[in-house]
Amino acid sequence: MDKPMSLSANADGLLRYRDDAPHEEPAVTLDAFLGQTNATAVRIEAGDDARALIPHLGQIALVEISFPSFRDGRGYSAARILREAGYDGELRAQGDVLVDQLLPMRRCGFDSFAPESEIDAATAEASLSRYENFYQKAADGVVPIWKKRHG
Amino acid sequence: MYKYDTYDQQMVDNRVEEFRDQVKRRLAGQITEDQFKPLRLMNGLYLQLHAYMLRVAIPYGTLDSRQMRMLAHIARKYDRDYGHFTTRQNIQFNWIKLEDTPDILAELATVEMHAIQTSGNCIRNISADQYAGAAADEVADPRIWAELLRQWSSFHPEFTYLPRKFKICVIGADEDRAAMRLHDIGIQMVMRDGVLGGRIHVGGGMGRTPMIAPEIRDFVPADDLLSYLEACLRVYNRYGRRDNIYKARIKILVHEIGADEYRRQVEEEFIAVKALGLDPPQAEFERITQMFADPAFVADDGTAVDRSDPDFALWLDQNVKPHKQPGYAIVNISLKPQGGIPGDATSAQIDLMADLGERYSFDELRVTHAQNIVLPHVRQADLYTVWQQLDAAGLAPANLDLISDIIACPGLDYCSLANARSIPLAQKITERFADPARQRDIGELKLKISGCINACGHHHAGHIGILGVDKKGTENFQLSLGGSGAEDVSLGKITGPGFDEDGVVDAVERVTETYLGLREEGERFLDTYRRVGMAPFKEAIYG
Ligand code: SF4
């Protein structure tokens, strides 16, 4: 995996893999966002349809996706759907986010993490750099093995 | 056979290091069992009734002699000198020490094997027709597509925390030897107007709510296959139920919203996904295809097989199947001796099968979902010597697809979820039907036993199925009739009230006797049952 452009673990335990400044505006619910379309930060619950945001991606700077349990993998699909639609703002995983989930989350397009229990930045780094290559094309821009094999 | 390149090898090696680190942290007390559990489960390590059980993946049931010998070595060095081949074409070791597991995985990695995704709510080992590359009725070799799916599903970032486990099966012939439509996704490779593609079925499965997968797309060109599956999985990951573990499999989603609505959503998703360029390049299909090219068959010299040894002739008729190549045959090695444990093999037997595979079958072996082993490419001229060597090692029961060729899950002897013991029941049934002539007279009869509702023993798909249940603290067995996992797929129906262990053996015997009394010329048990229905059998059992 490509190394993060910058890694900052701030006082709230937020891990960020972006070099712009963290977005200040609090995230509103998807319903609230769709009702008052001037918000710039939105929070997606696990069962929400991320596709509802697609018409508004240009005005959004932060999407926070909730993980009520690490076993609930709906947020991975939500993240990919947003990235595939061209969203390039901050995509944050919030909730029961554990160190072993960081890699698949990064691959699905998340670039910041607000875990409920703090993750040590060094452990995160080790876990993110263990695998050099991946079979699949995903949302992280990594060149998949299938392509590398054939030049 | 597929051979790893440096990318495949590096992936498996990295996984070994990662798991070694996780085990080290666990043994040092840095992480709790609760935190460790999801990590070990991602690597096929279960805590069972008496010990850790390690499930090793045998991708699409195919392996070479070196890999087979490694399984014997692991059984000998780290376990109690035997292994258990499973209904998912994998192998399980039942007596493993946690501290040994990193070394076991490291040894497996030296022969291109692993335990990745043999448990957890992810895409599991891909299963396939065990006669791939050998069957006369094959349109396309399913191993090519199963290998592609193995790579695609390995550490798939989006589908590692699905609502529930996910099983995919690929076949390439009309005859279904792999219970394809009882998988979450079942793919039949077909040719249409000169183009290869897959017929896609979604939402089959066993468990407490058995379902036969409906067809979702009659043809997906091979070039689109991965994008299409990506769409199938994404719809499931987003909308599959997560509120109830018993309703979380994809079959429930497909059933609840209906196949038409599921198809509509998949097709919509597919349009979005196809545009992303996820499918591998043509050169990758070709690379994998080349590795499954036919071995160097020698021309048939036309000599007929000498049938003068009557025991050999019986085995030949029962366990040996026609091969696409003249002069060759497919050999089924039954791991179902009378009184034995279905699917178990000792280290010495595994080594012997490896030797035979190397010497007489172009270094290839297969594991079947019926818990037997196949030597896919044996010259007819070698059949007698192969049989002699198998027979000397107790590996030549001539009972393929007969009543003693029982599928049974580990049950209460090992499994922490079990309600009843499957293995002793299987043993008793083989004792009751010990007479080989009687078995042959009864003919094809697939008997399958599960120790609980999870149905690992495929009882729903048994011509005769037996399910162990807990009845007020005692083991009880429900009997069902009429299931099939083949191309004539169907689900068994329960006969009525359950039985104790001896009672169910008696009931099975009455069922077979009723069949013998009712059958018409050429009918298998299943055919007679389908013609006459449940009533006469019920009458015989309970009347
Ligand atoms: S069917 Fe039940 S008892 Fe048998 S192996 Fe599966 S979970 Fe265990």
Give the pLDDT means over successive 10-residue stretches in chain B (543 positions).
Answer: 97 95 90 86 88 95 98 98 95 95 97 95 96 96 97 97 97 97 98 97 95 98 97 98 95 97 98 95 96 96 93 98 97 97 97 98 98 98 98 98 97 93 97 96 98 96 97 94 97 97 98 98 97 98 94
For tokens 């059984």, the residue is B75
CATH of residue A116: 3.40.50
Q: Are B399 and B337 in contact (CB under 8 A)?
A: no
pLDDT at B25: 87
Interface contact A77-B238, CB threshold 8 A: yes
Can you tell me the mean pLDDT for A70-93? 97
Predicted complex ipTM exceeds 0.85: yes
Question: Poorest-confidence range of A45-59, A112-126, B142-156, B252-266?
Answer: A112-126
Asked if the C-beta of A84 comes within 8 angstroms of chain B's C-beta atoms, the answer is: yes
pLDDT, greater one: A4 or B9: B9
Ligand 1 centroid from CA B462, angstroms = 16
How far is Cα A124 from Cα B521, in angstroms, rounded to an integer? 69
Q: Could you tell me the residue range of the domain that residue A55 belongs to? A: 8-150
B543–A contact, CB cutoff 8 A: no
Query: Is residue A8 predicted with pLDDT exceeding 70?
Result: no
Whether A2 maps to a domain, the answer reads: no
Q: Across the interface, do B157 and A136 touch by the CB < 8 Å criterion?
A: yes
Of A73, A131, A149, the CB nearest to B160: A73
Q: Which helix (H) or strand (E) holds B82?
A: strand B82-85
What is the C-alpha separation between B312 and B451, in angstroms, rounded?
35
- In this structure, is residue A1 part of a structural domain? no
Q: Rounded to the nearest whole angstrom, what is the distance from the C-alpha of residue B370 to the centroid of ligand 1? A: 15
pLDDT number for residue A10: 56
* B237 has a chain A CB within 8 A of its CB: yes
Q: Which CATH class is domain B6-109?
A: alpha beta
* CB contact (8 A) between residue B14 and residue A84: no
Domain boundaries, chain B: 6-109, 127-289, 310-392, 418-542
Q: Do domains B127-289 and B418-542 have the same CATH topology?
A: yes
Whether residue B220 has its Cβ less than 6 Å from ligand 1: no
Q: How far is CA B289 from CA B3, B141, B286, B325, in A?
A: 12, 9, 5, 19
Whose tokens are 């390690």? That residue is B54
Ligand 1 pocket, mutate which of B88, B448, B450 (most atoms under 8 A from CB): B450
Predicted local distance difference test score (pLDDT) of residue B103: 97
Is the pLDDT reported for residue A36 higher than 80? no
Whole-number percent of chain A with pLDDT over 70 = 92
* HSE value, Cβ hemisphere, 13 Å, CA-based, for B343: 29
Q: Evaluate: CB of B469 within 6 angstroms of ligand 1.
A: no
Residue B490's Cα: distance from chain center in Å? 18
Number of domains present in the structure of chain A: 1
Residue B479 burial (CB < 10 Å; 0-12/13-18/19+)?
buried
Q: Which of B84, B17, B88, B24 is nearest to B48 (CA)?
A: B84
Confidence of residue A11 (pLDDT cuts 50, 70, 90): low
CATH superfamily of B127-289: Sulfite Reductase Hemoprotein, domain 1 (3.30.413.10)
Contact check, Cβ <8 Å, A104/B155: yes
β-sheet bridge partners, residue A65: A44, A93
C-alpha–C-alpha distance, residues B310 and B316, integer Å: 10
Are A104 and B277 a contacting pair at CB < 8 A?
Answer: no
Residue A3 falls inside a structural domain:
no
Q: Which two tokens stand for residue B483?
A: 């299931």
| CATH number corresponding to B310-392 | 3.30.70.3340
Cβ–ligand 1 contact at B367 (below 6 Å): no
Range B418-542: architecture per CATH: 2-Layer Sandwich (3.30)
For ligand 1, whether the C-beta of B410 sits within 6 Å is yes
Average pLDDT, chain A: 90
Which among B10, B161, B162 is the nearest to A70, CB-wise? B161
Q: Is the pLDDT of residue A7 over 90?
A: no
Would you call A133 an interface residue with chain B, using a CB distance cutoff of 8 Å?
yes
* Lookup: tokens for B508: 């099975």
Crossing angle for the helix pair B101-109 and B65-78, to the nearest 10 degrees: 160
